[in-house]
Chains A and B, each alone.
Chain A
Amino acid sequence: MSDEVANSMSELSHSPRLDAKVPAGRLQEKWDAYKDAVSLVSPANKRSHNILVVGSGLAGASAAATLAGLGYNVKCFCIQDSARRAHSIAAQGGINAAKNYPNDGDTIWRLFYDTIKGGDYRSREANVYRLAQVSSNIIDQAVAQGVPFAREYGGVLANRSFGGAQVSRTFYARGQTGQQLLLGAYQALSHQIAAGRVTMLPRREMLDLVVAKDRARGIITRHLVTGELERHAGDAVLLCTGGYGNAYYLSTNAKNSNVTAAWRCYKRGAFFANPCYTQIHPTCIPVSGDYQSKLTLMSESLRNDGRVWVPKDPKDTRAPEAIPEDARDYYLERRYPSFGNLVPRDVASRAAKKECDAGRGVGETRLAVYLDFGAAIRRLGVQTIRDRYGNLFEMYERITGDDPYKTPMRIYPAVHYTMGGLWVDYELQSTVPGLFVLGEANFSDHGANRLGASALMQGLADGYFVIPYTLGAYVAGIRQSEGIPESHEAFTAAEEEAGARIDQMLNNKGDKSPTQFHRELGRLLWDHVGMARDRTGLEEATGAIESLKDEFWERIRVPGSADRFNKNLEFAGRVADFIELGSLMARDALRREESCGGHFREEFQTSEGEAVRNDEVFADAAAWEHTDRRPVLHLEKLSFENVHPTTRSYK
Chain B
Amino acid sequence: MAKNMTINLRIWRQKGPEVPGKLVDYTVSNASEHMSFLELLDVLNEQLIASGGDPVEFDSDCREGICGSCGVMVAGIAHGPQQLTAVCQLHMRSFKDGDTITVEPFRARAFPIIRDLVVDRSAFDRIITAHGYVSVKTGSAPDANAIPISKDAAEEAMDFAACIGCGACVAACPNGSASLFTAAKIAHLALLPQGQVEASRRVVAMVDQMEAEGFGDCSNYAECEAVCPKGISVAGIASMRRAYMKGVFSK
Contacts and interface: CB of A to CB of B under 8 A. Distances in A.
Given A87-B61, A190-B129, A99 B54 contact: no
Interface string A297-323: 100000000000000000000000000
Interface stretch (A288-296, A381-389, A546-554, A587-595): A288-296
21 contacts: A65-B138, A66-B137, A69-B137, A82-B165, A140-B143, A142-B144, A144-B140, A151-B149, A154-B148, A155-B149, A157-B145, A187-B133, A191-B134, A255-B60, A288-B2, A291-B32, A291-B39, A364-B2, A513-B46, A566-B57, A567-B57
A85 B66 CA distance: 8
Given A81-B120, A140-B142, A157-B145, A146 B62 contact: no
A115 interface: no
A491 B140 CA distance: 39
Contacts of B135: 191
A187 B128 contact: yes
Nearest to B135: A191
Interface stretch (A178-186, A325-333, A612-620): A178-186
Interface in A230-265: 254-256
A292 B16 CA distance: 30
A236 to B, nearest CB: 18
Query: Which of the listed residues A139, A141, A146, A157 has the most CB atoms from chain B within 10 Å of its own CB?
Result: A146
Contacts of B144: 99, 139-140, 142-143, 149, 157
Interface in B125-176: 125, 128-145, 148-151, 154-155, 157-158, 161-162, 164-165
Contacts of B138: 62, 65-66, 69, 141, 188, 464-465, 468
A140 B188 CA distance: 18
Contacts of B46: 513, 515-516
A485 interface: no
A101 interface: yes
A200 B128 CA distance: 13
B61 A256 contact: yes
A307 B139 CA distance: 44
A400 interface: yes
A183 to B, nearest CB: 7
Contacts of A200: 125
Nearest to B116: A565
Interface stretch (A41-49, A556-564, A640-648): A556-564
Nearest to A83: B125
Given A148-B161, A190-B129, A401-B91, 9 more contacts: A143-B194, A154-B148, A156-B145, A187-B133, A254-B62, A296-B63, A559-B48, A559-B49, A565-B118
B1 to A, nearest CB: 7
B167 to A, nearest CB: 10
A152 interface: yes
B192 interface: yes
B59 interface: yes
Given A146-B194, A291-B39, A559-B55, A401 B122 contact: no
Contacts of A90: 62, 64, 66-67
Contacts, number: 226
B39 A292 contact: yes
A183 B158 CA distance: 12
A9 interface: no
A176 B134 contact: no
Nearest to A154: B148
Contacts of A146: 133-134, 157, 161, 188-189, 192, 194-195
B38 interface: yes
B95 to A, nearest CB: 13
A82 B132 contact: no
A40 interface: no
A193 interface: yes
Contacts of B40: 291
Contact of B125 (A84, A191, A565): A84
Nearest to A566: B57
A151 B147 CA distance: 12
B114 interface: yes
B93 interface: yes
A297 B115 CA distance: 31
A89 B66 contact: yes
A578 to B, nearest CB: 17
B228 to A, nearest CB: 15
Interface in A115-172: 137, 139-146, 148-157
Interface string A451-473: 00000000000001100100000
Interface string B27-54: 0000011111011101101101110111
A177 to B, nearest CB: 11
Contacts of B130: 194
A7 interface: no
B182 interface: no
Nearest to A175: B66
A559 B116 CA distance: 15
Contacts of B131: 194
A80 interface: yes
Nearest to A183: B161
B121 interface: yes
